[in-house]
Structure 1
Amino acid sequence: MVTWLVTVDPGRCIGAAVCVGVASERFRLIDGRSGPVSETIEADESVRDAAEMCPMEAILVRAADGAPIAP
């Protein structure tokens, strides 16, 4: 199983909710800001898509070894 680490920078997130629209099972809004449901996930292309679509590039997806996956 390939795992990814997902983080959202709260200082960059503007609550556009694109991530929730693209990967609703992986992101949630709390107090108007996005956050991952879980920071460690099984590889999921919808999460990569959400990171690529984030208007503020607030989402970082990394491989388990720290290598960047998106954006």
Structure 2
Amino acid sequence: MDMKPEKVEYEFENIFPGSKQISDEILKTINENSLDIFNDVKAGFEEIFSLLYLKYTNSVFSKIPLKDVFLD
């Protein structure tokens, strides 16, 4: 899996409890640099999503005979 988003937007609530102004400024900075941040964590996301897709695909195909999936 290779994720190539055109846009990434993060939403966090209350990053710094008790300081809405600081929380808002940090969130603004994060979203202004969202693609750079995403690229730093991209490998982890790709690995997790690949494992999830594999798990669910195997679950489906273990219950459906291949002859019903690939018709001749």
Same topology, TM > 0.5: no
Give the number of the structure whose alpha-carbon radius of gyration is greater. 2
Whichever structure has more strand as a proportion of its residues is 1
Q: TM-score range by the shorter chain?
A: under 0.3
Higher relative contact order (CA 8 A, sep 6+): 1
Q: Which has the higher helix share?
A: 2
